[in-house]
């Protein structure tokens, strides 16, 4: 979609918000006037001792409650439209650098310690995750991060992922609607405490207690009615109510064990119901991770659980807690209903909630297709050979705005590919573009390009290498360990894409060239595609026995006192440099 499409949606949404606000003000005025009229009518009925003011008061009271209900519904629409505008503005932000201000960077998933996450801008600030993520729940966020991994997936699994992503990519406004509804859910919300409770099968109901919680309050209420009719003393039902309250207080701790998981889930479960209902309407006849039949099965039980959560929340009001337990033993009924719900649906809830969690992942991945006009679904090459193969045509980087990106094409089979070029010419960006496109492909997302085909390859990288003072590891040694991992992987029966930026830059030039030649010869195998960028032209002449050595380069040109780049990869080694020019440009060399 063009940016103008979302800008038009934003204008329409803002107009709807302005209209709702004006109507809300009108409702407020009508409610105030109705209440004042109600007071006048009641006062008139009292002063005049006449029936007609009281009748008018009843009509006005009905109208007043009608206004309250209408106002509430209007405010619900207003709040939804505000959330929807927020979603649309996030889409617009993806056309500029403003997306880098999004709250969710996925930094909490960096603990998995994959070097590719930092090397390829997969997770963390200014990352692919930050660009695409629309997930709100803890589980959905975790699933999305889990999809962005460097290991390949089976063809059947990839097809399923692509179908889910492709579906939402073709339904932009429906995806916006689901995102707007989901923003009712607190960020990083987790239903895990409730799911953990439901995993415990020790919560068996007590048949005797379940009978008595109906019998005793029933007798107490009948005795209360009898006392009002002067048939029995009022003290008798009062004593029963006190006994009921005492029993509730005595079991307060045990009952709280069952009720506590329900707290604070009322609004979230209502949101899940709205989300599942919206998905059901837009997914007729669909199968896969997100099945409309399963959604329909889930909606009523989750709605019932949401109502039970709302009932449990009344316990926060101590007056209601004491009154309802004294009258009807509320806590015991909540526990009874919840245990019954658990026995009937407890094992299914996690799967039902996962329907939305999977949708969060698919919608996030489909964002790429919503925003970028240059996307294509990757294709896995079916090959029984262990030799890797990658075909990329007009491949671009997702994190570079479409208007600024320069696409490049390449065809790769087992080979050692040496990429040379001046500083800032685009070497590292191209390495990241190719490797991150593989990871996006495995996730089920589209990539930016005209064509992207590949055999399943494990992506290994050595790009952003840092020292570790606490462990006594230097930058050079840290890079050695990464190269060692690549060599060990090459000795296994697995396809590998090895990507190295400025190999062994952490040591002197003499040792760097000797070490790089030795390492690259070991990374020149028939199950590897190796790409390495370097400023050492000596490596352009390296020889390998098993696979061909291919040279590529990026170059620049000078115009007066400016250095210009075309960011286009060309065949052969580089023949230009720009370090001395840059040194002069900043005033270090005169």
Helix H or strand E segment including 557: strand 556-559
So what's the pLDDT on residue 201?
A: 57
Contact 119, 156 (CB under 8 A): no
Instruction: Give the dihedral sign, CA 198/200/203/204.
Output: positive
Examine the pLDDT at 506 and tell me if it is beyond 90: no
Contact 357, 245 (CB under 8 A): no
Shared domain check, 422 and 458: yes
What is the chain's mean pLDDT, rounded? 89
Domain final position from 337, 360, 383 = 360
**What are residue 379's phi and psi, to 5 degrees?**
-125, 130
The verdict on residue 368 lying in a domain is: no
Angstrom CA distances, 496 to 122, 193, 523, stand at: 19, 41, 10
> Which residues face 530 on adjacent strands?
416, 498
Shared domain check, 323 and 457: no
So what's the pLDDT on residue 544?
A: 83
pLDDT band at 287 (very low <50, low <70, confident <90, very high): low
Which tokens belong to 338?
């919840």
Shared domain check, 297 and 273: yes
> Residues 74, 79, 83, CA angle at the centre, nearest 5°?
145
The verdict on residue 118 lying in a domain is: no
The verdict on residue 307 lying in a domain is: yes
Which tokens belong to 339?
């245990």
- Cα(434)–Cα(543) distance, integer angstroms: 24
- Cα(337)–Cα(29) distance, integer angstroms: 42
Helix (H, G, I), strand (E, B) or coil at 391: strand
So what's the pLDDT on residue 578?
A: 60
The verdict on residue 29 lying in a domain is: yes
Domain final position from 50, 73, 93 = 93
Domains identified in the chain, total number: 3
So what's the pLDDT on residue 125?
A: 96
- Cα(305)–Cα(311) distance, integer angstroms: 10
Pairing of strands 496-501, 528-534: parallel
The verdict on residue 400 lying in a domain is: yes
Shared domain check, 385 and 338: no
- Cα(153)–Cα(145) distance, integer angstroms: 15
pTM of the model: 0.87
The verdict on residue 149 lying in a domain is: no
Shared domain check, 420 and 329: no
Can you give the CATH number for the domain in which 85 is found?
1.10.287
- Cα(104)–Cα(145) distance, integer angstroms: 11
So what's the pLDDT on residue 252?
A: 87
The verdict on residue 351 lying in a domain is: yes
So what's the pLDDT on residue 286?
A: 60
pLDDT digits 0-9 by tens, 70-118: 999 999 999 999 999 999 999 999 999 999 999 999 999 998 889 999 9
- Cα(444)–Cα(460) distance, integer angstroms: 19
Domain range for 47 is 3-93
The verdict on residue 521 lying in a domain is: yes
So what's the pLDDT on residue 45?
A: 75
Domain final position from 73, 93, 113 = 93
**What are residue 286's phi and psi, to 5 degrees?**
-85, 150
- Cα(372)–Cα(5) distance, integer angstroms: 12
* Contacting residues for 216 by C-beta, under 8 A, at least 6 apart: 240, 243, 244, 329
Shared domain check, 561 and 424: yes
- Cα(558)–Cα(359) distance, integer angstroms: 50
Can you give the CATH number for the domain in which 575 is found?
3.40.50.300
Shared domain check, 487 and 440: yes
Shared domain check, 398 and 321: no
Highest mean pLDDT among 125-139, 287-301, 546-560: 125-139
Shared domain check, 497 and 407: yes
**What are residue 169's phi and psi, to 5 degrees?**
-65, -30
Residue 98: alpha-carbon gap to chain centroid? 18
Shared domain check, 400 and 347: no
Shared domain check, 422 and 547: yes
Contact 140, 360 (CB under 8 A): yes
Burial code (b: 16+ CB inside 10 Å, e: under 16) for 472-481 equals: eeeebebbbe
Contact 513, 538 (CB under 8 A): yes
- Cα(460)–Cα(450) distance, integer angstroms: 25
Shared domain check, 471 and 330: no
More confident residue, 557 or 103: 103
Burial of 312 (0-12, 13-18, 19+ CB in 10 A): buried
């Amino acid at each position: 979609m063009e940016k103008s499409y979302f800008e038009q949606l934003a204008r329409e949404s803002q107009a709807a918000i302005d209209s709702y606000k004006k109507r809300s003000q009108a409702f407020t005025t009508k409610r105030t006037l109705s209440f004042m009229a109600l007071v006048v009518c009641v006062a008139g009925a009292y002063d005049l001792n006449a029936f007609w003011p009281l009748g008018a008061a009843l009509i006005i009271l009905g109208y007043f409650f009608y206004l309250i209900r209408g106002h509430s519904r209007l405010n619900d629409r207003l709040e939804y439209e505000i959330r929807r505008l927020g979603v649309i503005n996030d889409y617009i932000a993806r056309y500029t650098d403003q997306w880098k201000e999004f709250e969710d960077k996925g930094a909490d998933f960096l603990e998995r310690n994959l070097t590719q996450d930092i090397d390829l801008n997969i997770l963390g600030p200014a990352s692919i995750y930050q660009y695409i993520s629309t997930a709100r729940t803890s589980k959905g966020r975790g699933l999305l991060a889990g999809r962005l991994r460097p290991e390949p997936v089976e063809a059947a699994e990839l097809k399923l992922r692509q179908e889910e992503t492709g579906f939402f990519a073709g339904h932009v406004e429906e995806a916006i609607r689901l995102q707007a509804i989901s923003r009712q859910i607190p960020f990083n919300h987790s239903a895990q405490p409730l799911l953990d409770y439901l995993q415990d099968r020790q919560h068996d109901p007590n048949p005797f207690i379940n009978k008595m919680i109906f019998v005793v309050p029933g007798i107490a209420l009948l005795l209360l009615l009898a006392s009002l009719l002067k048939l029995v003393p009022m003290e008798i039902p009062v004593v029963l109510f006190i006994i009921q309250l005492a029993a509730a207080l005595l079991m307060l701790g045990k009952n709280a064990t069952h009720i506590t998981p329900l707290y604070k889930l009322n609004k979230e479960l209502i949101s899940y119901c709205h989300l599942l209902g919206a998905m059901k309407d837009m997914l007729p006849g669909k199968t896969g991770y997100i099945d409309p039949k399963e959604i329909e099965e889930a909606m009523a039980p989750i709605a019932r659980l949401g109502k039970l959560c709302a009932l449990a929340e009344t316990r926060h009001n101590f007056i209601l807690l004491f009154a309802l337990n004294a009258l009807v033993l509320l806590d015991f009924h909540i526990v009874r209903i919840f245990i019954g719900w658990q026995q009937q649906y407890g094992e299914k809830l996690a799967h039902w909630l996962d329907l939305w969690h999977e949708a969060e992942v698919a919608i996030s991945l489909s964002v790429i297709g919503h925003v970028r006009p240059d996307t294509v679904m990757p294709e896995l090459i079916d090959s029984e050979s262990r030799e890797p193969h990658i075909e990329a045509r007009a491949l671009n980087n997702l994190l570079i705005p479409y208007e600024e990106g320069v696409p490049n094409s390449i065809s790769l089979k087992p080979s050692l590919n040496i990429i040379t070029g001046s500083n800032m010419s685009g070497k590292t960006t191209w390495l990241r573009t190719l490797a991150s496109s593989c990871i996006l492909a495995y996730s089920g997302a589209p990539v930016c390009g005209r064509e992207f085909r590949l055999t399943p390859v494990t992506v290994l990288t050595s790009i952003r290498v840092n020292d570790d003072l606490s462990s006594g590891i230097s930058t050079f040694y840290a890079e050695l360990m990464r190269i060692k991992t690549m060599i060990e992987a090459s000795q296994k029966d697995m396809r590998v894409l090895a990507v190295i930026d400025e190999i062994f830059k952490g040591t002197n030039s003499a040792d760097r060239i000797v070490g790089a030649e030795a390492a690259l010869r070991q990374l020149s195998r028939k199950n590897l595609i190796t790409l390495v960028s370097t400023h050492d032209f000596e490596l352009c002449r390296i020889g390998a026995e098993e696979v061909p050595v291919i040279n590529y380069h990026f170059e620049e040109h000078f115009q007066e006192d400016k250095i210009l780049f075309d960011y286009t990869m060309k065949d052969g080694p580089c023949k230009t440099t720009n370090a001395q020019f840059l040194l002069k440009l900043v005033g270090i060399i005169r």
